[in-house]
Structure 1
Amino acid sequence: MDTIFDLPETSAPEQAVIARFRLSGEEFGERAERAVIFHAERAMVAAVGEAGVGEVDGDEFGGGEAVVYAYGPDAEALFKVMEPILRGLPFRPAHVVLRHGAAKTELHVDL
C-alpha cells in the first residue's frame, strides 16, 4: 500500500472537569479564600497524578468566583479522584461540569 503521509492515529477527544465556586465579593475573593483553593488544587494535582487519570491544569479567579480546570481521557474517572477534595471546599454555591468527548456534551453536578 502506498502512502504519501504518515498520519498519527486519532486519539479519543480530551475530556474535562471544570469546578466553579462562589467566593465573597465581586472580584477575586479574599486572600484566605484563594489560599484554600490553592491548597486544594495542590492536593488534586497529587491525587490525579498518582491515579494517572489526567492532569489538573490550573485555576482562574474573577467575577466573584474561582474555577479549577482538569483534563484527561475520562471525565468520570477524573471527577471520582477529585470529588472528595472538591466537596471538602467550604464555598457555596458550587458545581462541577463534566465535559465529555468531541461533541462536548456536559453533565452538571452540584456540590
Structure 2
Amino acid sequence: MADTDEVENDVEHAVIAHYRLADDGLGEPGQRDVVRQARSLLTEAIEHADVGEFEGNEYGGGEVVFYAHGPDADALFSVVAPILNDLPFRPAHVALRYGSVDDPSAAEHRVEL
C-alpha cells in the first residue's frame, strides 16, 4: 500500500499558456523564432528550479500553446510567469490546472496576461 504523500506527489498539475498569433495559421516567421527562444528559456527555468517539466508547444488555429506540468501548478507558474509575461503576443491567458487531465473534478484557474 502506497503512503499518502507518495500518492499526492504522483498527481500532475499543469500550466498551459495560450497566445494569439498574427494570422489564423502558424503565425509569422518572426513569431516562430520568438516561440523557439521561449521554449529554451522555459525548459531551462523549469529544470533549474526543479518544479516540473516543459512538455513543448503546439501551433494551430492562429495560436501557440505552451505546456508544462509538475506537482504544484502555483510553484510552476511562479517560475515561468516572467518568461510568459515577456512574450509579445496578445491576447493571452494561462490555465493553471490543479489535478490530472483525466480528473474531471480537477480545479482550473485562468490568469489573463
The TM-score normalised by the length of structure 2 is 0.88
How far apart, in 1, do the equivalents of 2:75 and 2:43 lie?
A: 14
- CA-CA distance at 1:41 after TM superposition: 1.3
In terms of Rg, which structure is larger?
1
Shifted more, 28-37 versus 98-107: the winner is: 98-107
Partner of 2:38: 40
Deviations 1:26-67 (A, max 9, x none): 111011101101101110100110000001100000100000
How far apart, in 2, do the equivalents of 1:63 and 1:69 lie?
A: 17
- Partner AA of 1:50 in structure 2: H
Q: Secondary structure at the match of 2:84?
A: helix
Partner of 2:72: 74
2:16 pairs, out of 6, 18, 21, with: 18
Instruction: Could you list the structure 1 runs, at least 4 aligned residues long, displaced by more than 3 angstroms after superposition.
Output: 7-10
Partner of 1:104: 106
Shifted more, 96-105 versus 54-63: the winner is: 96-105
- CA-CA distance at 1:87 after TM superposition: 0.2
Identity percentage over the alignment? 49
- Partner AA of 2:106 in structure 1: K
Partner of 1:89: 87
Partner of 1:55: 53
Partner of 2:26: 28
- Partner AA of 2:112 in structure 1: D
Structural RMSD (CA): 1.3
- CA-CA distance at 1:11 after TM superposition: 2.4
- Partner AA of 1:34 in structure 2: R
The structure where helix makes up a greater share of residues is 2
